[in-house]
Amino acid sequence: MILTSRGRAAVVYPPGTGEALWMEAGGLLLCSDSVEITPASECHLLAIGFSGTAAQEFGSRLSRPLLSDCNACPLAAQEMSALAAAVARDETELLPALAFRVLCSVSKADEAEETPGLPPLVAQAVLAIRQNYAGLYGVDELARQLGVSKSHLVRVFTAQMGTGPGQYLIQTRIEAAKVLLAQRDYSLEVIASLCGFSGANYLCKVFKKHTGQTPGMFRALHIGASPSPVHLSELEGALYT
């Protein structure tokens, strides 16, 4: 994935033959194959490459390079910068978790196209929840970020989505926890921290309430479901500037 922090560049895919896409400052490019990049002006690019099963599965969903902007995934630049800094400092123990956060932050890069017709406030709330579910303390903080009252946000969100923003936040966290539960290497405490739960006990309580299964039961049923289980510890970040 490539982030343009300054300038403008042409991206050609396949290299030498395809039609050029233009990356502007703030542009984010996701690709699973080689691309040709030609700066049109002085620019700065941050490129991070991933290897491992998780990255392969993520890339398999891209039929062609996806060019988006950071409005669709506002935490992408922050998470990519944090990963790049950890690589530069050789903090290898932090890389798996940081790499996972990067993939989560960009996984909804095309989400603006998936929620057509939503009022701006609801669309902003949905994106804010999906992009920062681990860091949100609750609906009060979300309302403050969006500059509206909690009651107004709850009323408008519920009318459009059929559920309140608090329940939507919890469900988003549970879906993220399901991804991590399928990995052998992650304890419940780590999963709770990465997904925004206050601790393993609270994760177990909420997970059981909403799914009918304990996290342990879910893990036992799903950890061997794929012949090539994803291990986030296989992710390796490589920095190029």
Report which of residues 103 and 47 the model is more confident about: 47
Reduced to 3 states (helix: H, G, I; strand: E, B; else coil), residue 218 is: helix
120 burial (CB, 10 Å; 0-12 / 13-18 / 19+) is exposed
Decide if 6 contacts 43 (C-beta within 8 A): yes
* pLDDT for position 224: 47
Q: Where are the domains of the chain?
A: 1-91, 115-227
Q: How far is CA 172 from CA 43, 97, 165, 220, 232, in A?
A: 36, 18, 10, 21, 19
Instruction: Kindly state the percentage of the chain with pLDDT values over 70.
Output: 75
* pLDDT for position 53: 66
Q: What is the mean pLDDT of residues 36-59?
A: 76
38 pLDDT band, cuts 50/70/90, is: confident
68 burial (CB, 10 Å; 0-12 / 13-18 / 19+) is buried
Report which of residues 77 and 176 the model is more confident about: 176
Give 115-227's CATH code, choosing from 2.40.30.10, 1.20.1260.10, 3.30.1330.80, 1.10.10.60. Answer: 1.10.10.60
* pLDDT for position 208: 93
67 pLDDT band, cuts 50/70/90, is: confident
Decide if 136 contacts 196 (C-beta within 8 A): yes
Q: How far is CA 165 from CA 71, 84, 205, 233, in A?
A: 20, 32, 20, 32
* pLDDT for position 71: 52
* pLDDT for position 87: 84
Supply the mean pLDDT for the chain. 77
* pLDDT for position 45: 82
Give the model confidence (pLDDT) of 114-166 as tens digits. 455 578 888 889 888 887 888 888 999 999 989 999 999 999 999 988 899 99
Tell me: pLDDT of 95 over 90: no
Decide if 193 contacts 201 (C-beta within 8 A): no
* pLDDT for position 114: 47
Q: What is the C-alpha to C-alpha distance for residues 23 and 6, in angstroms, rounded to an integer?
A: 10
Q: What is the mean pLDDT of residues 207-216?
A: 91
Neighbouring residues of 7: CB distance < 8 A, sequence distance ≥ 6? 25, 39, 40, 41, 42, 43, 44
Nearest Cα to Cα of residue 9 among 38, 44, 34: 38
Q: What is the mean pLDDT of residues 5-31?
A: 77
Neighbouring residues of 174: CB distance < 8 A, sequence distance ≥ 6? 195, 206, 207, 210, 211
Report which of residues 33 and 165 the model is more confident about: 165
Query: pTM of this prediction?
Result: 0.52
236 burial (CB, 10 Å; 0-12 / 13-18 / 19+) is middle
The separation between CA 3 and the C-alpha centre of its own chain, rounded to angstroms, equals: 15
* pLDDT for position 220: 85
Decide if 142 contacts 129 (C-beta within 8 A): yes
